[in-house]
């Protein structure tokens, strides 16, 4: 029984990771480069000493305020942490950047 449970957890994790990756790829294709640059500015700012950077929740809120029609059509929830993470990951992909380039 224990082996079946571990296998279930492993398969579930793989499915969730694949779903997450597909969601990010789809979102990346739907946002513009300008949107990606705005998201980067909100999250990363001008570097690690920039005090004007935003949390993931705040990134989602900023996106909803700046791009309300797109936020609605892309199911971005204002103040939602997961939405903010999705936006940041999609922007990184759109800009062909990695976490090592200042994203956190």
Considering only CA atoms, which of 26, 28, 54, 27 is closest in space to residue 40? 54
Residue 11 CA to residue 92 CA, distance in Å, equals 27
Average pLDDT, the chain: 87
Say which residue, 43 or 6, is predicted with more confidence.
43
Residue 3 clears pLDDT 80, i.e. is over it:
no
Residue 1 clears pLDDT 50, i.e. is over it:
no
The two tokens of residue 9 are 């957890």
Q: How would residue 19 be classed by pLDDT, with cut points 50, 70 and 90?
A: confident
Say which residue, 95 or 17, is predicted with more confidence.
95
Residue 18 CA to residue 24 CA, distance in Å, equals 10
Where are the chain's structural domains? 2-101
């Amino acid at each position: 029984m224990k082996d079946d449970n571990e296998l279930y957890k492993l398969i579930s994790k793989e499915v969730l990771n694949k779903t997450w990756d597909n969601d990010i790829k789809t979102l990346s294709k739907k946002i513009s480069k300008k949107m990606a640059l705005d998201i980067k500015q909100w999250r990363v700012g001008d570097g690690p000493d920039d005090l004007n950077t935003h949390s993931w929740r705040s990134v989602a809120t900023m996106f909803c305020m700046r791009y309300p029609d797109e936020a609605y059509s892309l199911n971005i929830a204002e103040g939602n942490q997961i939405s903010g993470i999705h936006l940041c990951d999609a922007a990184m992909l759109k800009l062909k950047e990695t976490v090592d380039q200042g994203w956190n």
